[in-house]
Chains A and B, each alone.
Chain A
Amino acid sequence: MSRSTRLTLTAGVLGLITAVAACTPGSDTSAPPPQATASTVQTDAAKLGEVSLLVWDQEVRGGQAAQMEELNKAFQAKYPNIKIKRVSRSFDDLKTTLRLALSGNEPPDVVEANNGRSDMGEFVKANQLVPLDPYAAAYGWDKRYPASVRQYSSYSADGKTFGEGNLYGLPQVGEVVGIYYSKKKLAAAGVQPPASWADFEASLATLKAKGERPLVLGNLEKWPAIHVFGTVQGRTTAADSIKQLAFGRKGASWKTAENVKAAQTLTDWVGKGYFNEGFNGQDYDPAWQGFSKGKGSYLIAGTWLQADLQKAMGDDVGFMVPPGESADAKPLATGGTGLPFAITAKSKHPEAAAAYINFITSQDAMGVLAKTGNLPVADTAAQQVTPGLQQDVFTAFGKTVEADGMVPYLDYATPTMYDTIGAALQDLLAGKATPEQFVDRLEKDYGAFVAKNG
């Protein structure tokens, strides 16, 4: 290579580097979006003119897909001037592509964004979502949705405080983690469906003694154990401190006797052989499918399995909110809402987007949701459903929301908590960590976050 070409090359490469380095990543960040005011919001979608809306959702499975298609069709029939362009992808695909899509110049108008800090919280911080409060006032969402539901899509304007502040999204469905049980298995062992937590633990021992497998768990994915731990923690720890921990707010601690006791309970259950062998290497789906085929008596899982379990087990399966100290104790369960629908800051038609969100979360929509086998987040008790498991699930959710007994998923707490608690629980259940080490590890994550976040 001659001297001059070498020089040209070097200059070229240097030029390229400077060109790249000239723009700091994220320097095209958007300013806070202009706010609508409640009085000027046009709530009659027919008067909004010819508009097209791009909607990204994750309603791809059975009943979820069915309700979305039905509601979209009804919306199009009612408001032919608004054209819905729907993009539907699985939860994981949506989660990984949404971040890039939102930072682009032409993001979708309506997106289903995961509630947690690492998704919705970050988007709020980056001014990519519109606060929905003016629309909530105009459409009366604040009256239709109980506060315990709205908290899951509320953030302060700087995205730092989760669970209060502005409303950034509206969900369609709710979910609560409870206990599924096989009626036949319990009857065969001479056990009544437990009315208190002590009854439940006693029944585990009875079932084990009769040679049954009391609890089914598939924890290869790491998150399923979060629901089991949350359920146990709800018996040992007060709702307020769980909320503080799970929303990642200042002032709580993992290192309490109550949390250690919850972890100890799980360790004991493993020691007594209440779980299936090799649960850390077992897939979630085959695990609950095993439960439906009679390979266990109890399954601690969320209401999202209701339709599948009902189909597989028929009358044999029941569902309950995790029982409290006594039969009439206030219900307390891990739960939340489905992914909320939010409006992007760069959307050119926020009013049409709000009209669409209002339509798919209206009272009629709740009826459609119930009919297609989903658990509507509002008006739950008012729905006509088939007796049996679906009735159990609707009652459980309605009862929990009504009593304000819903506590958030523990992995909401910090952007890294999903990993931390997932791995920590696998370690705890495998006996690789003691309950004390377990809470220390969680405290480290939580503590570091609240210290930084304020």
Chain B
Amino acid sequence: MRSSRRTGSPPGEPRRIAYLYLLPGFAVYAAFLLYPLLRAVQLSFYDWDGLTLGRWIGFDNYREIISDEGLRSAFGHALILMVFFAVVPVCVGLLLASILNRAKVRGLPFFRTVVFLPQVVAMVVVAVAWRRIYAPDGSLNDLLGALGLDSLQRGWLGDYTLALPAVGFVGTWFETGLVTVLLLAGMGRISGDLYEAARLDGAGPVREFFAVTLPSVRGEIAVASTLTVIAALRTFDLVYVTTGGGPGNSTSVPSYEVYHRAFELGRVGSAAAIGVTLTVVILAISLLINRIGDRDTAS
């Protein structure tokens, strides 16, 4: 290390030169992220069909998001999907991970792989497979029939109340693996001393879980929730392939509306407004989750 450190300034190159190092990265970031983002914000203030001259309409596109019942419900569906994509996987993942971690099962890597497997498959492939499973003559109905539960058989993706949960369940199946593996890694780091101390104090497995395991993996839970919440809010491929927003509009989600408006209806401005709103919502929710996660680890 050089000894030419000036007093009152941080080590290394002077600030101005340090920024120079950031420039190449920033240029790429600006060209492929900042510029499209700003452009989208700009487009969201226009009534533009993607072909002819656009017309400035101020906040009308945003007003429509609030006033249009279909769009409001699309955002509502995304929030319901959050439960299936984030809340349920985190709960299930906690349970699975602590069992796997505690039981010291033989062949742990094998189970870890199996649980993680859905993550490896592309979402489109997952969606196509589940679409077959949910079909009126698909394997889910076959299974119900074999169990004698014929009354429960139905065209799952065509059922007004069950289509959204059915789509959501695919998300649960998809995200649980990721969450479990993340939490398992976190639990592996917990010192055995803590468990020993808890046991000496007479704690059972449940008490141990709440007193030792849960607080220790808060950071991992925050990360897992952020990832899965974002996945839930921006779901597109799953809905596009399984239901196309149907039956009626009961499974439409904001990302699907963006695609639909931009490419099918030719309402690029409105699509951009939905996209921008979605970005803001995702940003706000992930900030919130990280706030909670940080505060917990700090305490």
Instruction: Name A's B-contacting residues (CB within 8 A).
Output: 2, 5, 16-17, 20-21, 24-27, 29, 95-96, 99-100, 102-103, 118, 122-123, 125-126, 128, 219-222, 276-283, 286, 290, 415-416, 418-419, 422-423, 426-427, 430, 432
A415–B266 CB distance below 8 A: yes
Residues 26-67 of B, flagged 1 when their CB comes within 8 A of A and 0 if not, give 000010001100110011001011111110100000000000
A432 to B163, CA, bound (A): 15
A256 to B50, CA, bound (A): 36
B19–A281 CB distance below 8 A: no
B243–A16 CB distance below 8 A: no
Known contacts A25-B268, A278-B154; is-contact A20 B247 (Cβ 8 Å): no
Q: Does B248 sit at the interface, judged by CB under 8 A?
A: yes
A99–B265 CB distance below 8 A: no
Known contacts A29-B53, A426-B246, A426-B247; is-contact A281 B43 (Cβ 8 Å): no
Known contacts A16-B38, A20-B39; is-contact A281 B135 (Cβ 8 Å): yes
CB distance from A386 to the nearest CB of B (A): 32
Q: Does B77 sit at the interface, judged by CB under 8 A?
A: no
CB distance from A162 to the nearest CB of B (A): 15
Q: Does B159 sit at the interface, judged by CB under 8 A?
A: yes
Residues 244-271 of B, flagged 1 when their CB comes within 8 A of A and 0 if not, give 1111110000000000100111101100
A219–B158 CB distance below 8 A: yes
Q: Does B156 sit at the interface, judged by CB under 8 A?
A: yes
A25–B54 CB distance below 8 A: yes
For A99, list chain B residues within 8 Å (CB): 50-51, 263, 266
Closest A residue to B264 by beta carbon equals A118
A122 to B157, CA, bound (A): 33
A415–B265 CB distance below 8 A: yes
For B76, list chain A residues within 8 Å (CB): none
Of the residues A27, A123, A286, A432, contact of B248 by C-beta under 8 Å: A432
Closest A residue to B141 by beta carbon equals A278
CB distance from A263 to the nearest CB of B (A): 15
Of the residues B42, B50, B136, contact of A103 by C-beta under 8 Å: B50
How many chain B residues sit at the interface, stated as a range, is 35 or more
Q: Does B165 sit at the interface, judged by CB under 8 A?
A: no
A279–B158 CB distance below 8 A: yes
A416 to B70, CA, bound (A): 13
CB distance from A364 to the nearest CB of B (A): 36
CB distance from A155 to the nearest CB of B (A): 14
28 A-B Cβ contacts within 8 A?
A16-B34, A21-B42, A24-B54, A25-B269, A26-B48, A26-B50, A27-B54, A99-B50, A99-B263, A100-B50, A103-B51, A118-B264, A126-B51, A278-B159, A279-B158, A280-B155, A281-B135, A281-B154, A281-B163, A282-B136, A283-B131, A286-B137, A418-B264, A419-B264, A422-B246, A423-B245, A423-B246, A426-B247
A17 to B160, CA, bound (A): 44
A219 to B248, CA, bound (A): 11
A416 to B155, CA, bound (A): 27
For B245, list chain A residues within 8 Å (CB): 423
Q: Does B75 sit at the interface, judged by CB under 8 A?
A: no
Of the residues A16, A96, A422, contact of B35 by C-beta under 8 Å: A16
Contact residues of A: prevailing secondary structure: helix
A278 to B15, CA, bound (A): 66
Q: Does B134 sit at the interface, judged by CB under 8 A?
A: yes
A20–B160 CB distance below 8 A: no
A26–B263 CB distance below 8 A: no
Of the residues B35, B48, B53, B136, contact of A277 by C-beta under 8 Å: B136
* B116-143 with Cβ < 8 A to chain A: 131, 134-137
A278–B51 CB distance below 8 A: no
For B155, list chain A residues within 8 Å (CB): 220, 277-282
A5–B19 CB distance below 8 A: yes
B156–A281 CB distance below 8 A: yes
Given A95-B264, A282-B136, A419-B260, output 8 extra A-B contacts at Cβ < 8 Å.
Answer: A16-B35, A29-B51, A29-B53, A99-B50, A118-B265, A279-B158, A280-B246, A283-B135
Residues 158-183 of B, flagged 1 when their CB comes within 8 A of A and 0 if not, give 11100100000000000000000000
B52–A220 CB distance below 8 A: no
Known contacts A95-B263, A277-B136; is-contact A20 B54 (Cβ 8 Å): no
A126 to B54, CA, bound (A): 12
For B43, list chain A residues within 8 Å (CB): 25
A350 to B283, CA, bound (A): 49
A29 to B49, CA, bound (A): 12
Closest 3 CB pairs of A and B: A281-B155, A278-B155, A281-B158
Of the residues B134, B137, B154, B157, contact of A290 by C-beta under 8 Å: B137
A308 to B34, CA, bound (A): 49
A26–B51 CB distance below 8 A: yes
A427–B52 CB distance below 8 A: no
A128 to B43, CA, bound (A): 22
B50–A430 CB distance below 8 A: no
For A280, list chain B residues within 8 Å (CB): 155, 158-159, 246-247
Closest A residue to B249 by beta carbon equals A423
A302 to B243, CA, bound (A): 22
Of the residues A24, A100, A276, A419, contact of B53 by C-beta under 8 Å: A24
B53–A118 CB distance below 8 A: no
Known contacts A27-B53, A103-B51; is-contact A20 B38 (Cβ 8 Å): yes
Closest B residue to A25 by beta carbon equals B54
Closest A residue to B45 by beta carbon equals A21
For B49, list chain A residues within 8 Å (CB): 26, 122, 126
Closest A residue to B16 by beta carbon equals A5
Known contacts A25-B46, A96-B263; is-contact A423 B158 (Cβ 8 Å): no
